[in-house]
Structure 1
Amino acid sequence: MDHAEVLLIGGRAGVGKTTVGWEVSARLREAQVAHAVIDGDFMGAIHPAPPGDPHRAGITERNLAAVWGNYAALGHRRLVYTNTVSVLDEAAPMFRRAMGDGVRLVRVLLTATDETAERRLAGRELGSELEHETRSSARKARLLEERAPEGVVRVVTDGRSVIDIAAELVTVTGWADSGAGGAPATG
């Protein structure tokens, strides 16, 4: 495989993106499929935002390009990337610039009801951010529903195990079907 492929896992806060991403990684490891994992939330996690970059898109792209460059130098061609809005059309150019024009984007939008997301957030947010995260999650769910492009695979997470959801995502990528293809170079 000479081009990069990225599984973009998007969705509102509390939908299970990070947990599912790590379970996808576990399933790919089990199938001996070479890959890397990046939690996109960490690519722009600085405060305050850089001057001229209020949404941190520039620093996120630079960090993604740097980290992916390191993985690609080791021979990796597949990436599991989690981030709320990564599945939207406006994110695609960032991945093409950071990973190469030929990158294949596999976009999956995880969904959950308000009740499910609120319950998960209440179990996760142990500090002062619960109320903010709950409001933001509902707002992002509406935004994603309105703006996710055609072709984005929607996967409901309510009442499902992370193992089941991850298996569905691995199937969507087709990566396990190709075996260990894309394995990094050795030596």
Structure 2
Amino acid sequence: MDGTEAAQEPTTPPSLLLIGGRAGVGKTTVAWEVAAQLRAADISHAIIEGDFMGQIHPPPQHDPHLSAITERNLTAIWTNYAQLGCHRLIYTNTLSILPETAPTFHRALGPDVHITRVLLTATDTTTHQRLTARELGSELNKELQSSARKARLLEERSPSDTVRVRTDGRRVADIAHEVLTATGWAGPAHAGSGPSA
């Protein structure tokens, strides 16, 4: 360097928290509580609901499973957040923790992204109760069947480094604290009071 160029500060590699789990397990609720605990500690982060990245009907003919449009949308949103200096992302989606999703996140966030996978778990009884209370439209039976099928898939195929966190009968703040601890983003802190998941 000849002194005329400003020194480039090293960039922090992105860090990604993937929260997966069957429908009714509490992914969205827990993710937003993780975000609340990060805000309370004044730790920068962004949050994306993965289900919203491919909500278009009918699917494009060249992309029937919506994987390409999901990746394009994720890339665009993360680019905007990263330009603001953000390097931590919370991402929720049922199957996001499966190994075949990793290339998508490496392309969208960068090859040096550090990924923490968390699988939220709950019994059939618990998820049935939650889905029955949540799904007021015409797709309850479809959601129940899909939830049970994906629970089996996640148990069978989650990578060995996946952190499993039980949600049955626990306070949301405690669940989120356990999830946040897995990331290393914040030091140990007392999880505040709050309702059960």
Q: Verify same fold: TM over 0.5.
A: yes
**CA distances 1:104-128 after superposition (whole Å, capped 9, x unpaired):** 0000000111110010001110111
Matched letter for residue 113 of structure 1 = T
The reply to whether residue 85 of structure 1 matches residue 95 of structure 2 is yes
Distance in 2 between the 1:12 and 1:54 partners? 22
Unaligned runs of 5+ in 1: 179-187
* TM-score, scaled to structure 1: 0.93
Q: Which moved more, 1:52-61 or 1:18-27?
A: 52-61
Q: Which runs of 4+ in 1 moved over 6 A?
A: none
Partner of 1:38: 48
Q: Number of residues paired by the alignment?
A: 178
CA RMSD between the two structures: 1.1
Tell which has more relative contact order, 1 or 2 (C-alpha 8 A, sep 6+).
Answer: 1
Distance in 2 between the 1:70 and 1:109 partners? 27
**CA distances 1:62-86 after superposition (whole Å, capped 9, x unpaired):** 0000000000010100000000001
Larger Rg: 2
Partner of 1:185: none
Partner of 1:183: none
Distance in 2 between the 1:112 and 1:155 partners? 9
Distance in 2 between the 1:146 and 1:50 partners? 31
Partner of 1:120: 130
Partner of 1:3: 13
Matched letter for residue 57 of structure 1 = S
Partner of 2:64: 54
The reply to whether residue 68 of structure 1 matches residue 55 of structure 2 is no
Distance in 2 between the 1:69 and 1:19 partners? 25
Cα deviation, residue 52, structure 1: 2.1
Q: Which moved more, 1:165-174 or 1:48-57?
A: 48-57
Cα deviation, residue 51, structure 1: 1.2
**CA distances 1:19-55 after superposition (whole Å, capped 9, x unpaired):** 0000000000001110000000000111111112121
Distance in 1 between the 2:177 and 2:60 partners? 38
Distance in 1 between the 2:159 and 2:182 partners? 17
Partner of 1:101: 111
- Between the aligned residues of both structures, percent identity stands at 64
Matched letter for residue 99 of structure 1 = L
Distance in 2 between the 1:89 and 1:124 partners? 29
